[in-house]
Amino acid sequence: MSSFEGFTNHTVKVHSAVLSKDLNIWCRKKGEGEGLLLLHGYPQTSHIWNKIAKQLAERYTVVAADLRGYGRSSKPPGSDSHEEYSKREMASDQVQVMKHFGFDTFSIVGHDRGGRVAHRLALDNPDEVKRLMVLDIAPTLFMYDNTNMDFAKGYWHWFFLIQPAPGPEKMILAGPEEFWATAAARWSHKGVDWSEEDKEEYKSNFFRPDSVHATCEDYRAAASIDLEHDRADQAAGRKLSTPKFRVLWGSNGVIAKYGDVPGVWRKYCEEGKVDVRGKGLNCGHYIPEEKAEELLAELYEFMS
C-alpha cells in the first residue's frame, strides 16, 4: 500500500522572476483544514515524508512539494550568478504553490535544503507564515561564518558541490552509486532503513544529468547569492518574525556540535516576538525517516 495513499499528484505552474518564464513544481496533496507545507532536502524528494504524511493529512491540508531542481519539478540550467537557485526564487515557487491551493497563510516544515528555503520564505513573506519548523539545520550564514574542521569533515559536500560546473557534475555521474554510498547513506546515525521503493524513488530522480546539475546549483547559490541576501538582511536588521518557531536536530549529527541550537536561531529571530524552542532527537540527519513517530508527536504540538 502506498505511503501516500489518497494523495493526489499535482504539477503547479509558477512564475520565475529571474528567468521571466513559468516553471513546474510537482507536489502531493491531501486533507482538509489549515495548510501545512512540507519541504524536503538533498538529495531526496517529497517522498521523505512518506512515514508521516498520511497521519498529518487526517488533521491538516498537507502539501508535500519537490523543490525546484529536485524530483519531478523543473530543473532550469544555472548561470554564473546562480540566481536561478537562490532560496528567494525557490521560496517564491512554494508561496505560489500554496496560493494555487487557496492558502494565503500556512505553516511550514522544512528538512535540510527545504529548511533553508523555508527560512527564506518566512523572511520574505512574514504575513503568510503562521508557524515555521526546520529540521537539522542552522542558518546558512551562521554555518559558513563558523566553519571549522568538524563542519568541513561532516559537510564536505558543501565545499565539493559549489565548485565550478561541470566538475562536480561529471564526478558524481561517473560513479553515482559510490557517491550515494559516500554521501547520502552516511548522513544517518545507524543507517536509514530505506526500502527498495525508497531507494528507487531517490536514485531514479537524482542520478540524472539535469538533477545533478540543478542540485549542485542549489549549493552554489547557497555559497554566493544566498549569502548576499542573508548579509543584506543582517545589515538591515531583518529577522524572522514568525510567532512560532521550532528546530529539531539529530543529536548524532553535525548540527548538534553547535551546542545551543535554539540559541543560535534566536539571534536570527525578532526578540520578544518569536517563540523559539527546539530539541535534539537520538538520530542522524534524516529525522523524518529515522524518527518518524517522534517527529509526528512534535508536529502535532507544533500545529496546536
How far apart CA 44 and CA 67 sit, in angstroms, is 10
pLDDT in tens, 118-173: 999 999 999 999 999 999 999 999 999 999 998 999 899 999 999 999 999 999 99
The CATH code that applies to domain 8-303 is 3.40.50.1820
Nearest to 139 by CA among 161, 120, 156: 120
Residue 1 clears pLDDT 50, i.e. is over it: no
- Give the up-direction half-sphere exposure of residue 59: CA atoms within 13 A in the CB hemisphere: 13
Q: 3-class DSSP state for residue 76?
A: coil
How far apart CA 139 and CA 189 sit, in angstroms, is 22
Per-residue confidence (pLDDT) for residue 191, from 0 to 100: 65
Contacts of 166-169 spanning 24+ positions with Cβ under 8 A: 166/213, 168/212, 168/216, 169/209, 169/212, 169/213, 169/216
Contact 168, 175 (CB under 8 A): no
- Provide the whole-model pTM: 0.98
Contact 115, 90 (CB under 8 A): no
Residue 182 clears pLDDT 90, i.e. is over it: no
Known catalytic residues are 112, 285
Nearest to 58 by CA among 135, 5, 105, 100: 5
Burial group, residue 149, by CB count within 10 angstroms (0-12, 13-18, 19+): exposed
pLDDT in tens, 66-122: 999 999 999 999 999 999 999 999 999 999 999 999 999 999 999 999 999 999 999
Residue 58 clears pLDDT 60, i.e. is over it: yes
